[in-house]
Copies of this chain bind each other. A is one copy, B any other.
Amino acid sequence: MSLKVYLAGPEVFLANAREQLDRKIALTRAAGLIPLAPGDLAIPPQPTKRQLGHAISAVDESMMDNADAIIANLTPYHGLSADTGTCFELGYMCARGKLAYGYTNVAAPMRERAVAHYGGDVHHGSDGRLRGADGLMIEDVDMADNLMMQGGIERRGGALIVHDAAPDRLYTDTTAFEHCLELLAERAGLR
């Protein structure tokens, strides 16, 4: 019996969302795994925007409950860090004891991106911690994003794959995603 994999990431927001999700779905099937992707299920019309949000949240959670694993696209989105919905979903799946993998298409680790965010205006505080101009601590644990994500993945035997995608392919390059599929298929004994 094959593994069902929830494909988490900001692809749903892309102008070519359907095309990109279909590409990931096809790659997942080619790896011998069963894809479950947000956007696959039609959401019935709702009386208010807020209720539409609730309906999507309910559908996505039920897809996760039905999945055996998650591959989370943690490429930075609208800021220094990953898409927050994807982070919620990764935490959700870790808590449920599902297999967890992740990837990012930006090679620079969290520390380097944060230093760039402050234009290099960083300093070591009186506690020895690296801090931005606004005093906020820069996480410096050799990880791609906040330690809860990479820690949650790696402590469960998963992996966070880092890939250096071309800037114009930040959300469409599937190299690291395919690497995650290989690792997951291997773990599931499919190859």
Contacts and interface: CB of A to CB of B under 8 A. Distances in A.
Given A84-B81, A91-B87, A91-B90, A12 B137 contact: yes
Given A13-B139, A53-B141, A95-B96, 14 more contacts: A13-B136, A14-B136, A15-B125, A15-B135, A15-B136, A56-B141, A78-B114, A82-B84, A83-B146, A84-B145, A85-B147, A88-B94, A92-B92, A95-B95
A123 to B, nearest CB: 11
A142 to B, nearest CB: 4
A51 to B, nearest CB: 9
A96 B95 CA distance: 6
A43 B137 CA distance: 17
Interface in A35-86: 48-50, 52-54, 56-58, 60-61, 64, 78-85
Interface of A: 10, 12-15, 17, 48-50, 52-54, 56-58, 60-61, 64, 78-85, 87-96, 114, 117, 125, 131, 135-137, 139-143, 145-152, 154-155
Contacts of A148: 57, 60, 84-85, 88-89
B149 A85 contact: yes
B50 A152 contact: no
A127 B97 CA distance: 37
Q: Which of A60, A94, A117, A151 has the most CB of B within 10 A?
A: A151
Nearest to A65: B95
